[in-house]
Amino acid sequence: MINRKTIPKIYIRRTIPQKYLDKIKSSGAEYIVDPWQFGEPEPPIKQDISDCNIVLTLGLTDSLAITEQAPYIKWVQSLSVGLDALLTEKMKKNDIIITNTKGCTSVPIAEHTIAMMTGLARGISYMIRNQLNRSWTSTPITDLSGATVAIIGYGEIGKQIAKRAKALDMFVIGCKKRPSIRATDDPADKIVGLEQLESVMAETDFLILALPSTPETYHLINKEKLESMKKTSFLINIGRGNTIVEEELINHLKEKKIAGAALDVFETEPLPPQHPIWQVENLIISPHNAYFSPNTLERYMDVFLENIERFKEGKELLNVVDKQLGY
């Protein structure tokens, strides 16, 4: 007879379409749902979750302070790669396994990044502003072909960006914490360690930040490092907002110390209407949606459903997070 605690019973702390709930049920798992849309206040626990052993949530915003009410939790599946809220000191010290959606959003994020590079290079934001003002005015334009792009945080997302950048005849530098010998099929032209960050920033035309939120990456891009960039270079952040000192970036953009930027992530989200960054003209802002495509949730749920089967069979789960590293 199967021990009660090994039967998947899932506490879902997100708003999930019914078709996925039906698939979860078909897998043999039981579930309890407290709907929670991104940006809404955390919902109260309305049901008995004391015998739940799995949680499906968004690690980006959920600190999972409900574990005392669910002592049998073995595994938490985050519907995001980032785990900014979830990785508390308490969570790091316990035995709960955390998995994320690594790889599920690499392609849409890479496509978004290429769109931002193209938009910055061709001065698209200026063109839109001129169009709204009915102003027939030329805009600053530069080439992608022949330019150098440096991808800081060269993981799966970085490789997808590099693959597309090479198709545009760009020179690609991958920069990562633990650089390895470049594989012959790697799209990057060279791979270096983070200790070379400032020299990389000094030579690049497009700086792509694809970093996780960790103590080591917090405010990594500060005034000193921004000063190393060329006046003609651009910065794009599709990683985490707290890797940049926003005030310093705003100053560099306003003073034209760098040519422009595109930001999908910010220290405070949603970005407050009164935030000074809205007034920066050589900046493209997107509302943390680089990851999104019509197929994003489908990819997330495919990983989760596969992991349910692995959980039932006692196999290693997909996308297990190193809680000490944060990714």
Specify if 319 maps to a domain.
Answer: no
Active site residues: 240, 269, 288
Specify if 323 maps to a domain.
Answer: no
Specify if 325 maps to a domain.
Answer: no
Q: Are strands 54-57 and 234-237 parallel, antiparallel or unpaired?
A: unpaired
Query: Residue 244 is which amino acid?
Result: I
Give the CA distances from residue 6 to residues 20, 233, 307, in Å, rounded to whole numbers and listed in that order: 21, 54, 14
pLDDT at 109 (0 to 100): 98
Are residues 149 and 46 part of one domain?
Answer: no
pLDDT digits (tens, 9 = 90+) for 232-268: 999 999 999 999 999 999 999 999 999 999 999 999 9
Structural domains counted in the chain: 2
- CATH, residue 182: 3.40.50.720
Which distant-in-sequence residues (6+ apart) come within 8 Å of 183 by Cβ?
none
246: closest CA among 214, 209, 198?
209
151: closest CA among 185, 121, 124, 114?
114
Specify if 322 maps to a domain.
Answer: no
Residues 154 and 129 sit within 8 Å (Cβ to Cβ): no
Residue 180 has, within 13 A of its CA and on its CB side, a CA count of 5
Distance CA 31, CA 8 (A): 8
Are residues 110 and 100 part of one domain?
Answer: no
Low-confidence ranges of the chain (pLDDT < 70): 1-6
The boundaries of the domain holding residue 216 are 106-285
Are residues 66 and 23 part of one domain?
Answer: yes
Are residues 258 and 114 part of one domain?
Answer: yes
Are residues 201 and 87 part of one domain?
Answer: no
pLDDT at 24 (0 to 100): 97
Specify if 110 maps to a domain.
Answer: yes
Would you call the peptide bond into 294 cis, given omega within 30 degrees of 0 as the criterion? no
Are residues 261 and 170 part of one domain?
Answer: yes
pLDDT at 39 (0 to 100): 76
Are residues 167 and 97 part of one domain?
Answer: no
Are residues 201 and 114 part of one domain?
Answer: yes
Are residues 169 and 261 part of one domain?
Answer: yes
pLDDT at 261 (0 to 100): 99
Specify if 171 maps to a domain.
Answer: yes
Are residues 176 and 130 part of one domain?
Answer: yes
Give pTM, 2 decimals. 0.87
Are residues 168 and 137 part of one domain?
Answer: yes
Specify if 327 maps to a domain.
Answer: no
Residues 108 and 293 sit within 8 Å (Cβ to Cβ): yes
Are residues 47 and 187 part of one domain?
Answer: no
Distance CA 298, CA 4 (A): 29
Residues 193 and 152 sit within 8 Å (Cβ to Cβ): no
Specify if 139 maps to a domain.
Answer: yes
